[in-house]
Amino acid sequence: MVRNIFLLILLVTFIPLSQLKAQDLMDMLKDEKPPDDYAYATFKTTRVILGQSIENPAKGTLQFLIEHNFGRINKGAYEFFGLDLPTVIRFGLEYGINDWLSVSAGRSNFEKTVDGSFKAKILRQCSGDISMPISLSWYSDLTLNTAKFQDLTRKNYFSSRISYVNQVLIARKFSSAFSLQLSPTFVHKNLVPTRTDANNIFVMGVGGRVKVAERTSLNAEYFYMINGNADKSYHNTLSVGCDLETGGHVFQFRFTNAQPMIERAFMTENTDDWTKGDVYFGFTINRVFTIVNPKNFQKN
């Protein structure tokens, strides 16, 4: 009898305690908030069209770019609408060091230019516990003109070959079908053609993407020179294009009034005018190679 009473007391005592512990655990699980929902694929590649996008190559991946712009379409049928004319081409490599930093290098036949750059993610658009309405990155580029100096009668300096571009890339993915980006840009040239030309030029860029199919989008971008164009000898660059994704490749087709694909050139030295038919057809082929496999792939 005493044994049965003792067991009954233990049962009554520990059942509420176990229920209390279970309830505390459920409360903890309920209070645990879901992970932040980060925006991804704001743009299909690291370029909107000619200009940089907010995107970086994924960690451990190498992206190979072939960029090609033909001659002016308004040259007519005799020049096969620009395809027979001299073209501008650039080969580039971009590598994702980690989730927020990438580096790149390239070479173009435009002024035999060699370029190197890096892009760093500072903010990333997300919702959830920590909400961030935009993505923000910093992009810096250095270009080196390796063509022969045109005026050999004066003393030429190596530093005269160098120019710099710095950009703040501010983007927002409004929906799965629409993204928008602003690109405030600062361009510095160590050497300019005349004393009246500006060494420091500010440019504002705007670009957007509209998804029209699962693997297809339409893009547009515009770069406006804020200063450095007092005599109106240069024209702002307007480009429209289409992105087509096919597995490991992304093909970008475009129409633009700027033939070079170097930021300093198409932002601040463009002499072609859309209204006069100075339009170029071009394309970019993006091919991605995995150099370092993610750890979760290695475990599997």
122: Cβ–Cβ under 8 A, 6 or more apart, which residues?
136, 137, 138
φ/ψ of 9, rounded to 5, equals -65, -45
Q: pLDDT of 114-143, one tens digit each?
A: 999 999 999 999 987 778 999 999 999 999
Predicted local confidence at residue 163, as pLDDT? 97
φ, ψ at 43 (rounded to 5°): -130, 160
Domain extents for the chain?
A: 1-30, 42-299
- Residue 18 to residue 240: CA distance in whole angstroms: 66
Q: What is the pLDDT of residues 221-269, one digit of tens each?
A: 999 999 988 888 999 999 999 999 887 788 999 999 999 999 999 999 9
169-199 residue pLDDT tens:
999 999 999 999 999 999 999 998 888 889 9
Contacts for 201 with CB less than 8 Å, ≥ 6 apart: 186, 187, 188, 189, 225, 226, 227, 228, 267, 268
- Taking domain 42-299, whether its CATH number is 3.90.190.20 is answered by no
Q: Is the pLDDT of residue 33 over 50?
A: no
Residue 28, φ and ψ in degrees, nearest 5: -65, -40
Residue 26 clears pLDDT 90, i.e. is over it? no
* 90, 120, 166, 234: CA torsion to nearest 10: 50
Task: Reply yes or no on whether the pLDDT at 30 is more than 70.
Answer: no
Angstrom distance (rounded) from CA 188 to CA 299? 47
Q: How many residues does the chain have?
A: 300
Q: How far apart are CA 11 and CA 201, in angstroms?
A: 81
pLDDT tier for residue 294 given thresholds of 50, 70 and 90: low
What is the distance between the alpha carbons of residues 135 and 243, in angstroms, rounded to a whole number?
Answer: 21
Q: Give the global pTM.
A: 0.83
